[in-house]
A and B are shown apart, each in its own frame.
Chain A
Amino acid sequence: MFLGNEDILDILYSAEEKALSLGASYAEARFHLLERQGVIARNDAIIGTTLASSRGIAIRVVFKGALGFSSTYSLSKKDVLKAVERAVSQAREASVHMKNQIIFSNEKLGRAKVSVIEKKKIDDLSTEEMINLLMDSWDKIKSADIHSKIPVYMQNLSWSKEYKVIVNSDGGFVESYVPRVFYFFNLVEYNDGNSINKWYVFAASGGSELAEEFVAKGRQYEDVYVLDKILRKAKPSPKGRMDVVLGDEIVGLLAHESSGYPSEADRILGREAAQAGKSFIKPTSIGTRIGSEIVSVVDDPTIPGSNGFFLYDDEAVPARKKYLYKNGVINEYLHNRYTGYLFGKGSNGSARAMDAFSEPIIRMSNTYIEPRDHSLDELIEDIDYGIYMKSYMEWNINDERWGNRYVGLEAYLIENGEIKDLVKNPVLEATTGEIYSSIDAVGKDLVFHAGICRKGEPSQGVPVWFGGPPIRIRKVRIL
């Protein structure tokens, strides 16, 4: 473990000094190390056993209002200082083309060490144990008492360790260590000429104890029965406008896609316009009603054990819980120090970089619809005719985060307040405004789901959670 490594610190501070001496008004140096070990299996076969390690030093500078970033594999001081020169030189070239200069907000930056303490050391999860877990899982899946065949049960189990040391010329200094476990399965079932598949991701920060929770006790042992039933029994979905209850899996995705993404201030300002797109939220949208009063959406990186956990962001700004939508009103954007300056609000600690080769940009962490008061039964009993969409496979949204599509996988008809038959692939297409405004009841049980969130150029995937309780939406369009 590098924590406290004086050589690294010396190089980082030298990089910062060098950048300032070359005329940069801001300098930041980050040592970033990611280690990952994993096993991939298909049915009873091991198809990949992998070990990966990535490390390097990332430099970011502001020179005459232009932003420069450079990353190097070398930890020699000479090469790191060369990377600094490169970042400054490129920013200098860009500075003559800047119409609006980049300025960072003043912040009280962290000087801290953050370390997630594992219950069971992540290193204790040996390759043999991982293989045993995956093979036991296959044994359990294949012995499920179902009618359908299971041609494919693909599993990918891995753990990772992320170490960072960040220093910047405004006094920030943060060392952090976050271990995580990641598990993915793709289950395919086949029956009478028809097939169906479901993939799902489990991930969280913590120790090796998570592996057993994900692999041995995960939802796949229920899904294996559910998919079989859908294949054999699901009826065509009704179409038209009707009431819909969305399960927590879809609600989490909804919070991520149509609350979290559009609330990123850099997206609102157009910095990601050619990649992830813009936002239906405009710089002046704070205070605008987006949904019913009972809907609040939170982004909170400080949740212990979460996949998107951090206490200081990659600009050394303290992280905190933010209400993106509060009681149905657009309340706060996700900011880094650049957008924090432009909006005059300061940063709320939302800058993250995937690895040593990535610039810190505004990202979500753990985004969820805040739970309220209804049980699932209570959400359903008030519906005469509608659909309960519990899980999904297909979804997408337009780049302004306004036009949503969610296609149910496990979905049921609701009649006279009761769950009835399974229905096949109901398609919900609606705008963000329509969905959030049509929510008339919010469940009480908050459940998180894990994912990798993509943004930036080069594209950066960072670990996140998204979640919520089940919600009820009135009179939305099912295709």
Chain B
Amino acid sequence: MKSSYFEDMLDRISNKLESRVNAYALLLTLIDETMIKYANSQPSVTQSWSMYELGLYLIKDKKAFVAGLRNPNEKDLDVFIENSLKKLEKIRETELLPEFPSTKTHDALPSLDKKVIDAQSNLGKLMELVSSRMRNETEIAGMISLGKREIMLRTSTGFTGKHANTFFNGYFRIFRGERSGQWAFSSTFYDEGLVEKTLDNAEFYASLKLPYLKPEEGEYTVILSPMVAGNLFSLLAYMSNAFAIQNGLSFLKPSDIEKEITTNELSLYDDPRNIELPFNTPFDAEGVSTYNKPIIEKGVLKNILHNTATARLFGARSTGNAGWIEPTPWNLEIKEGGASLEEMIKDTKKGVLLNNNWYTRFQNYTTGEFSTVARDAIILIENGEFKGLLRKARISSSYPQLLRNIRTIGKERYKIKWWEVENPFILPYVVIDNVRVTIPDFPS
């Protein structure tokens, strides 16, 4: 269906709500996506989705109601809206009351690539590219996802917003015997070079001809690849949102603003205006204009992420990160440092380089104590050189401890998004000292 169909739908709902509530927002998201999933060096499934989601945010007498519908037809929609309005009458006042801005329009953020849309109906070229990398001695698994996302927002204060962007994301894990490597990419634009580079990086880590060693567990300097740093720092970005802080899901406190929480090497940004990455948007879910902002700048916590409702509660201003109820980061960025990967390795006396990780879990969200499991290449470094591989290892630490010990930020950056890095993230390798690494007793 065409955009005009949905715009008419939003007009009709707006008219219906106008006299029934004090304020409202309507957010429509249209997604058309195609995905090729690989396993055992062949496509395991091709998938495609055509879907839309309608969100209703209804406010009356300090009461707020959020409703979401995926794929309703018109008849369902009318029943759903009436049902939502009835429920709104009966609920209690909320602590998180939004205040939609008075701006009516927004600037454009061009981020559509026709090549992505064309490639959706001609997957053969991408499949050829991946197939050309198949080797007898390697096993390739992974996925490539591409498509278009379009959002339309209306608010009772007269805001009308529309934004569309394409996305081209993927990752590959390559196995060579018991060794493996993994890498990922994310972009707004079609770029076969990203697929090639991702396969190259995964293959590099899968192909290291180093012996397996089992060093003592203890404190090490760790070099986090952008895959690992992407996971740990996207969790940090999540924990910088006001909802997480308010609900015991973060070690950060409102009073940490303007305090030094890490070394001055680290600058972590929320970048909704970076059109290179696919979580770009000129406006948030409440119609507030977005802007790029530091979460941490040179070690100092500069921003807690807010929507208008959490901002009201904290006595702050919205940072353009709505999310209804819960603020959300958009694209993420770690500013580049000065070191090459070679220099980072050379400067490490006793360390491990982690290619990838998963399963980060918290013992205590309010203290930030956690552990995470390394996977794929885990490289032991001694006196500036690769010495061997570890079969298994974990990082066991806390966020305050990690942040205090960031030593070096790399200069070359990568655009990452995958299972464990949900927000598109441009970032380099990161070096952290004094990280507790546990190493299991038993080989598999």
A100 touches B248 (CB 8 A): no
B91 touches A99 (CB 8 A): no
A398 touches B371 (CB 8 A): no
A46 in contact with B362 given A94-B36, A97-B42 (CB within 8 Å) = no
A69 touches B95 (CB 8 A): no
Query: Would you give the 0/1 interface string for B340-382, flagging 1 where the beta carbon is closer than 8 Å to chain A?
Result: 0000000000000000001111111111011111010000000
A131 touches B92 (CB 8 A): yes
B375 touches A154 (CB 8 A): no
How far is B48's CA from A73's CA once the two chains are assembled, in angstroms? 12
Query: Which of these binds chain B: A283-291, A370-378, A430-438?
Result: A430-438
Residue in contact with B39 in the complex, picked from A52, A271, A403, A433, CB distance below 8 Å:
A271
B358 touches A195 (CB 8 A): no
How far is B36's CA from A69's CA once the two chains are assembled, in angstroms? 10
Measured CB to CB, the closest approach of chain B to A403, in angstroms, equals 5
Residue in contact with A394 in the complex, picked from B83, B131, B358, B361, CB distance below 8 Å:
B361
A97 in contact with B51 given A73-B70, A186-B249, A273-B139 (CB within 8 Å) = no
A226 sits at the interface (CB 8 A): no
A396 in contact with B394 given A49-B64, A73-B70, A128-B90 (CB within 8 Å) = yes
Query: Which of these binds chain A: B104-112, B167-175, B264-272?
Result: B167-175
When C-beta atoms are compared, the residue in chain A nearest to B56 turns out to be A51
A423 sits at the interface (CB 8 A): no
A117 sits at the interface (CB 8 A): no
Residue in contact with A93 in the complex, picked from B127, B358, B363, CB distance below 8 Å:
B127
A394 in contact with B371 given A54-B71, A457-B419 (CB within 8 Å) = yes
B405 sits at the interface (CB 8 A): no
Query: Would you give the 0/1 interface string for A121-145, flagging 1 where the beta carbon is closer than 8 Å to chain B?
Result: 0000011100100000000000000
B71 touches A55 (CB 8 A): yes
A400 sits at the interface (CB 8 A): yes
Query: Would you give the 0/1 interface string for B46-59, flagging 1 where the beta carbon is closer than 8 Å to chain A?
Result: 11111110000000
Residues of chain A lying within 8 A (CB to CB) of residue B19: none
A49 touches B91 (CB 8 A): yes
B47 touches A48 (CB 8 A): no
How far is B438's CA from A149's CA once the two chains are assembled, in angstroms? 34
Query: Would you give the 0/1 interface string for B392-420, flagging 1 where the beta carbon is closer than 8 Å to chain A?
Result: 10101000000000000000000000010
Q: Within A425-479, which residues are at the interface with B (CB < 8 Å)?
A: 425, 427, 429-431, 433-434, 457-459, 477, 479
A98 sits at the interface (CB 8 A): yes
The bracket for how many chain A residues form the interface is 35 or more
A47 sits at the interface (CB 8 A): yes
How far is B64's CA from A53's CA once the two chains are assembled, in angstroms? 18
A238 sits at the interface (CB 8 A): no
A93 touches B65 (CB 8 A): no
B444 touches A394 (CB 8 A): no
How far is B358's CA from A273's CA once the two chains are assembled, in angstroms? 13
A270 sits at the interface (CB 8 A): yes
Residue in contact with A55 in the complex, picked from B34, B70, B87, B94, CB distance below 8 Å:
B70
Residue in contact with B48 in the complex, picked from A70, A75, A100, A126, CB distance below 8 Å:
A70
Query: Which of these binds chain B: A159-167, A274-282, A322-330, A412-420?
Result: A274-282
A52 touches B34 (CB 8 A): no
A405 sits at the interface (CB 8 A): yes
Query: Which of these binds chain B: A16-24, A82-90, A244-252, A307-315?
Result: A82-90
A46 touches B373 (CB 8 A): no
B325 touches A46 (CB 8 A): no
A67 in contact with B44 given A90-B123, A131-B92 (CB within 8 Å) = yes
When C-beta atoms are compared, the residue in chain B nearest to A83 turns out to be B50
A271 touches B44 (CB 8 A): yes
B51 touches A357 (CB 8 A): yes
B123 touches A48 (CB 8 A): no
Measured CB to CB, the closest approach of chain A to B92, in angstroms, equals 5
How far is B47's CA from A66's CA once the two chains are assembled, in angstroms? 11
How far is B367's CA from A47's CA once the two chains are assembled, in angstroms? 24
Residues of chain A lying within 8 A (CB to CB) of residue B247: 42, 47, 152, 154, 186
A356 sits at the interface (CB 8 A): yes
Measured CB to CB, the closest approach of chain B to A235, in angstroms, equals 17
Residue in contact with B51 in the complex, picked from A71, A277, A457, CB distance below 8 Å:
A71
Q: Which of B40, B44, B83, B366 has the most A CB atoms < 10 Å from its CB? A: B44
A277 touches B375 (CB 8 A): yes
B71 touches A74 (CB 8 A): yes
When C-beta atoms are compared, the residue in chain A nearest to B140 turns out to be A274
Query: Would you give the 0/1 interface string for B163-183, flagging 1 where the beta carbon is closer than 8 Å to chain A?
Result: 000000001110100000010
Pairs across A and B, CB under 8 Å, 27 listed: A47-B96, A47-B243, A48-B66, A51-B83, A52-B69, A54-B70, A67-B44, A69-B47, A69-B48, A72-B49, A74-B1, A90-B46, A126-B90, A152-B246, A154-B248, A186-B365, A197-B365, A272-B39, A274-B39, A397-B359, A398-B392, A402-B444, A403-B392, A403-B440, A430-B440, A457-B35, A457-B419
7 extra A-B contacts, CB within 8 A, seeds A72-B49, A74-B1, A96-B127:
A48-B94, A53-B68, A69-B48, A197-B365, A273-B173, A274-B142, A395-B361
